Amino acid sequence: MLDKETRLSELWGTGKYVLYSVSNGQATAQYLGNGAEQDDAAFKEDDLVVAVKNGGEYSYVAASAGMTFGTDIVYAVKFLTPSAGQIGGKEVAIEAKETTIETLTEAKEEADSEKEKTELQNQINTTQQEINNLKNGTAESEGSYALMWEAVTTVLEIKTLEATVKSAQEDMAEAEQTFVDAMGNMLHDGYWNNSNYTVGQEESLYADAVEILKIMSRPAVTYSMSFLNLAALSDYKMEEIKLNMRVRIYDFELGINDWGFIERIVEYPLAERENTVTISTDELNIAANTFESVLNRMMEAANIIDQRNAIYERAAAISEGGTISADQLNGEIDLLKNHLASTKSGWYTDSNGNIMFEAQDGQSAMMLSGSGFMVANGKDTSGNWNWRTFGTGEGFTADLITAGILRAGTITILGTDQFYWDADNIYIFDPSNPDRQIRIGKYDGTNYGIGYTKDNGDTWLNAIGFDGVT
């Protein structure tokens, strides 16, 4: 669309205009260009109006309120300022030559000899041909008629493209809102700018912004470790480390092979084995660049991976979706081949991948599997747990509740559709007429007792209250 707008500016300049379609002499505004407003659409006296035929032949016509056009006119253009660009240039040349023809015509009328009149007429003919070439064009140059038609069709293309862009923007806004709603607090946005770029370098700016985003969309990582200062020995001067020094980081178990920068050095002259060094992968801060919180460190919420008593985290091992690819680990976790166990909490995974919980006294156990949740309070003669199903995907099935309180305020006890119990009442419905009900409890929402209704609760009658039978 930008190319279309640029071309239109080349054709007739950047002044305000209104484009009309014309049918049966009646003009209908189709497009307001370059800042023209709706009030500009109406024709008024002294307006600069161009009547355009099919193919581009055009002429300027006198404007008036409610004006009509000839039946051969298909478009009209109202210029709030005179046209410029290539069309304006040809129109200026045409006007100059028309003035020349007027001058030559006057001279011809005043000429005394036929020879002089013939020469002047030849000049008039030549000038008129030049005007025709400016309008109709030549092999070397397009005429104003063709340029005007190109301008009109370009405006119509711009109108179509704007509608397409608007629709796409609305779809994008809807998609963005859906994304924002789904991400919630995990989504942060910001901007990055750089004034070192000039007009024409937009692609370079975009490419650099993408590289910045690659850095900022990943979590920054800090590694802390002990070190021995080998540089203190005469034969190891090349091993000296300094602040902001660039160093290579290898973590074979997570598949990390990257660069970091020394951020902090702590040395103990009398206890060298306690020396520590901190390495950071935050390239933006280490390089002393400024960044206006592009994503406000949106990935700081996912920054813990436990590995050998230290915190390891690296964007190279973390996908854009915040997950670690399986190929970054030393094989997959196969519960059919491996047991996970905790000696403190008494849980483990069995050979089928089920999670087992056993009491330390060995008297009871629970099992969690894809089929359901089972419990046991003893073992059979073979030493296997006596499992009872406590719950499945369909819900809980308890064959024994040993102790506790069922609070009807938080559950609904359902017998049938005609009989159930909630926090306020026991409900009894007439199977043949649901408008007839009996409620035991706070039957009408205010009074306690046994009440009944014949009109689905619009009116209530008390059967039994605290004062006895009514």
Helix, strand, or coil (residue 326): helix
Using the structure block, give the residue that is written with the tokens 């210029």.
79
* pLDDT, tens only, 71-111: 999 999 999 988 888 999 999 999 999 999 999 999 999 98
d(CA 218, CA 329): 19
In-domain check, residue 310: yes
In-domain check, residue 448: yes
**CA 436 centroid distance within chain:** 55
Q: H-helix or E-strand containing 125? A: helix 114-136
Q: H-helix or E-strand containing 428? A: strand 425-430
d(CA 94, CA 133): 10
Domain count, the chain: 4
% pLDDT > 70, the chain: 79
d(CA 291, CA 282): 12
Residues 6 or more apart in contact with residue 60 via CB below 8 angstroms: 48, 49, 50, 51
Residues 6 or more apart in contact with residue 336 via CB below 8 angstroms: 351, 352, 353
d(CA 446, CA 68): 77
* pLDDT, tens only, 88-98: 999 999 999 99
Query: 58 with 140, same domain?
Result: yes
In-domain check, residue 62: yes
pLDDT at residue 27, rounded to an integer: 93
- Decide which of 285 and 76 is more confident: 76
Nearest to 86 by CA among 159, 148, 2, 174: 148
Pairing of β 425-430 and β 433-441? antiparallel
Nearest to 466 by CA among 456, 451, 445: 451
Query: 6 with 131, same domain?
Result: yes
Contact by Cβ (8 Å): 40, 80: yes
In-domain check, residue 163: no
d(CA 463, CA 10): 92
Q: Is the pLDDT of residue 15 over 60?
A: yes
In-domain check, residue 196: no
Quote the domain boundaries for residue 462. Answer: 413-469
Query: 280 with 375, same domain?
Result: no
Query: 16 with 119, same domain?
Result: yes
Q: Is the pLDDT of residue 387 over 50?
A: yes
Q: H-helix or E-strand containing 103? A: helix 85-110
Query: 220 with 345, same domain?
Result: no
- Decide which of 430 and 301 is more confident: 430
Query: 294 with 323, same domain?
Result: yes
Dihedral sign for Cα atoms in the order 462, 463, 468, 470: positive
- In which band, very low, low, confident or very high, does the pLDDT at 251 lie, cut at 50, 70 and 90? confident
pLDDT at residue 290, rounded to an integer: 35
The least confident of 1-10, 104-113, 292-301, 396-405 is 292-301
Contact by Cβ (8 Å): 81, 69: no
Where is the domain boundary, 151, 185, 204? Answer: 151
d(CA 430, CA 412): 19
- Give the C-alpha distances (Å, rounded to integers) separating 183 from 178, 189, 305, 315: 9, 12, 22, 20
Nearest to 317 by CA among 262, 263, 250: 250
Query: 61 with 128, same domain?
Result: yes
pLDDT at residue 334, rounded to an integer: 54
Nearest to 313 by CA among 305, 324, 322, 321: 305
Query: 324 with 222, same domain?
Result: yes
In-domain check, residue 402: no
Query: 422 with 451, same domain?
Result: yes
Contact by Cβ (8 Å): 310, 253: no
Residue 243 burial class via C-beta count within 10 angstroms: exposed 0-12, middle 13-18, buried 19 and up: exposed
In-domain check, residue 268: yes
Residue 223 burial class via C-beta count within 10 angstroms: exposed 0-12, middle 13-18, buried 19 and up: buried
Query: 62 with 111, same domain?
Result: yes
Query: 321 with 348, same domain?
Result: no
- In which band, very low, low, confident or very high, does the pLDDT at 414 lie, cut at 50, 70 and 90? low
Nearest to 26 by CA among 61, 60, 63, 76: 76
Where is the domain boundary, 151, 167, 192? Answer: 151
Amino acid at 49: V
The least confident of 1-5, 152-156, 388-392 is 388-392
pLDDT averaged over every residue in the chain:
79
pLDDT at residue 325, rounded to an integer: 56
Amino acid at 125: N
- Residues pairing with 222 in the sheet: 280
The least confident of 182-191, 356-365, 425-434 is 182-191
Query: 23 with 131, same domain?
Result: yes
In-domain check, residue 103: yes
Dihedral sign for Cα atoms in the order 42, 43, 47, 51: positive
> Phi and psi of 50, rounded to 5°?
-110, 130
pLDDT at residue 400, rounded to an integer: 55
Using the structure block, give the residue that is written with the tokens 């060298």.
272
